[in-house]
Amino acid sequence: MKVLCRSGLLSGMALLISVAGATYACKGFLDIAPQGALDENTLANAAGVEGTLIAAYRVLDWSTGVGGSWGTAASNWVWGSVASDDAYMGSEATDANPILDIELYYWATGGAESYLNDKWRGSYEGVVRANATLRLLDKVVADKPNEITQVDQDGIRGEALFLRAHYHFEAWQMWGNVPYYNESDTDFRKTNVGVAIADSILKDLDAAIALLPDAPRHGDVGRASAWTAKAYKGRVQVYAGDYVGGLATLQDVRANGPYGLEQDFSRVWTGYQDASNGPETILAYQGSKGDPNGTNANYGERLNFPHSGSPFGCCGFHQPSQNLVNYFSVDANGLPLSLSAPTTWDTRDANLDATASATMPLDPRLDWTVGRDGVPYKDWGPHAPGWIRSPSYGGPYSPKKAIYEKGSGAVSDVGWVNTQLSSMNIHIFRYADLLLLLAEANVEAAGGSLTEACTIVNQIRTRAGVAAQGLGTTRADIAVPINDPSITWADYQIGLYPCPFPSQTYARDAVRTERRLELAMEGHRTFDLRRWQTAEQVINDFLTVEPRRRAFLSAASAFTPRYYLYPIPPIQIELSKVGETSMLQQNSGW
């Protein structure tokens, strides 16, 4: 059996799940080790330490962990996209009701709680495995000083600290008030009250920066490097509202780091091996194909393909909203219509198929993001009405970014409905995201520059204007110039902003608009709206208009301040008890 691995991190994946994963999967949550588990004495060698570290990377997409898959997907599509104005759950009304509860803001139902618990467990499973790596490394260094070189000791420690920071960040952006665990903790019933979570994440990232090499260890793409950790540090600083610190960190990464924008958008989300782990990749889940049951493919995204009338066979989830499709309209200057016509840009209710959009000015990123009827779907031929599971329910559109190309050879040859599985990477943090965080810091920080913010946004827009979806009959014509005569389904336009931005308010709106256009359907939208404190207005405006398009949304709960944080799973509060006192305290309003 051939296993296609894009990184040294993926080799031995089955071994890590059966050996390292079994050892630590329940650590801190159950007191009894699973039968047949290998203890730290058995793993106390260089191979055991490296395998345990790889097990920690595996949780970047904990979709095959015990309990649940979709709530722990690497892309956060349930939490960051369906819970926002970007996407509907999709599929049909009777399928995956927990995701529907999340979409409708019924977050206290049993189904929603089960998904929330999956995400909590997945986040802290990653923390547990990172800490297990650190403990095991310390043991091997103490007992066998010559077993692991100093260079590898530093690299392993730095990677584990980076991963620990990432998994805590995942919990923090979900729940805000969460406990922080290090390798010396023995009682996992820790409080979440008064925890300086961002400070702890940054401390780990600073330690990782000091330990890690500038390039991935052993040349294994997918491993964290010092630049990965530094880029992530800037991300955390901006999310924490430290715009001055984030500005300095992200400026350093931009000026001196190894990252850059891909030459065109077709190479950002792709199954082609020669374009994977390109200059735009900062952190990605490394998918693979051909390994047992396809579980190390991008399993967490497998529901998010067109349905049975399509080449993929299932399942029609994560469908783009009409609001999102309308957002890609541009004005006569090629700039977002949502900025120049804020009261009229979202008036279209009907399907924007190829006929309806034939002469419409549109941002070309629409057709890298959304599958529309009559428009080529990468190289799979035109998207068709028969690809939609229930148009009256989920609308006429399909997700597109995380779909591999037919000619890429990325499709898995094993697993349940193997056409939904591939070796395509899933971006968790990419350079365009970093640049837009830097633009945001320039807008918000004392000492920031509206000129620099404008320059960065125009850099993103310039790349967006390089290529549009083409006919897709071969790889060469998947991406073509935006004015290519073969394009009959849109009038693609990308304009640049005059620099500097005229005011901080205008700059803020432009940067936030660009984040949605560039990162749509990538699982960031909910968390952006929360940290900007605009979610209540944006989501309630969405829920005022969108039910006329998708009637089921009329049942949604209004967005109130309690929705700025997800509720902590009640079972985790119960498990945190010391005597009769719960160490975990529920978020306000829940």
Provide mean pLDDT across the span 38-42. 72
* DSSP 8-state class, residue 82: I
490: tokens are: 């849109």
pLDDT of residue 515: 98
Torsion angle, CA of 405/408/409/415, rounded to 10 degrees?
-30
Residue with tokens 């890690």: 212
Other Cβ atoms closer than 10 A to 288: 25
The number of folded domains in the chain is 1
Q: Is residue 409 part of a domain?
A: no
pLDDT of residue 38: 59
Provide mean pLDDT across the span 468-489. 97
Q: Is residue 413 part of a domain?
A: no
Q: pLDDT tens-digit profile of 208-235?
A: 999 999 999 999 999 999 999 999 999 9
Q: Is residue 233 part of a domain?
A: yes
Q: pLDDT tens-digit profile of 359-381?
A: 999 999 999 999 999 999 999 99
Among 54, 18, 50, which Cα is nearest to 36's? 18
Q: Is residue 402 part of a domain?
A: no
CA 236 – CA 233 distance, rounded (Å): 5
Task: Give the 3-state DSSP-derived string for 116-174, with helices as H, strands as E and coil as C.
Answer: HHHHHHHHHHHHHHHHHHHHHHHHHHHHCCCCCCHHHHHHHHHHHHHHHHHHHHHHHHH
Provide mean pLDDT across the span 338-347. 97
pLDDT of residue 522: 98
Residues comprising the chain, all counted: 590
Q: Is residue 230 part of a domain?
A: yes
pLDDT of residue 293: 79
Q: Is residue 30 part of a domain?
A: yes
Indicate whether 48 pLDDT > 60: yes
Distance of CA 346 to the CA centre of its chain: 26
Q: Is residue 509 part of a domain?
A: yes
Which residues are CB-neighbours of 359 under 8 A, at least 6 positions away? 491
Reported as a pLDDT band with limits 50, 70 and 90, residue 30 is: very low
Indicate whether 19 pLDDT > 90: no
CATH number of the domain within which 160 lies: 1.25.40.390
Tell me the residue range of the domain where 427 lies.
Answer: 13-307+421-582
Indicate whether 271 pLDDT > 50: yes
Provide mean pLDDT across the span 110-126. 96
CA 568 – CA 171 distance, rounded (Å): 10
Reported as a pLDDT band with limits 50, 70 and 90, residue 66 is: low
Q: Is residue 260 part of a domain?
A: yes
pLDDT of residue 37: 47
- Per the CB < 8 A criterion, the answer to whether 42 and 325 are in contact is no
359: tokens are: 């002469």
Reported as a pLDDT band with limits 50, 70 and 90, residue 41 is: confident
Reported as a pLDDT band with limits 50, 70 and 90, residue 27 is: very low
**Burial class of residue 505 (count of CB atoms within 10 Å of its CB; 0-12, 13-18, 19+):** exposed
CA 505 – CA 519 distance, rounded (Å): 21
pLDDT of residue 96: 81
* DSSP 8-state class, residue 204: H
Reported as a pLDDT band with limits 50, 70 and 90, residue 33 is: very low
pLDDT of residue 554: 97
**Bridge partners for 284 per DSSP:** 427
- Per the CB < 8 A criterion, the answer to whether 415 and 404 are in contact is no
Q: pLDDT tens-digit profile of 516-548?
A: 999 999 999 999 999 999 999 999 999 999 999
Reported as a pLDDT band with limits 50, 70 and 90, residue 397 is: very high
Range of weakest confidence among 29-33, 351-355, 467-471, 576-580: 29-33
Is the CA virtual torsion 18, 60, 181, 575 positive or negative? negative
pLDDT of residue 417: 84
pLDDT of residue 561: 97
Is the CA virtual torsion 88, 94, 96, 100 positive or negative? positive
- Quick one: what percent of the chain has pLDDT higher than 70? 93
DSSP states of 508-560: HHHHHHHHHHHHTTSS-HHHHHHHTT-HHHHHHHHHHHGGGTSGGGGGPPPP-
pLDDT of residue 14: 34
Per-chain mean pLDDT for the chain: 92
Indicate whether 42 pLDDT > 90: no
Provide mean pLDDT across the span 75-83. 98
Q: pLDDT tens-digit profile of 411-461?
A: 998 888 899 999 999 999 999 999 999 999 999 999 999 999 999 999 999
Q: Coil, strand or helix: which one is 20?
A: helix
Q: Coil, strand or helix: which one is 317?
A: strand
Indicate whether 22 pLDDT > 70: no
Among 482, 541, 177, which Cα is nearest to 338's? 541
Distances (CA, A) of 574 to 90, 569, 577, 579, 582: 33, 9, 6, 11, 6
501: tokens are: 């931005």
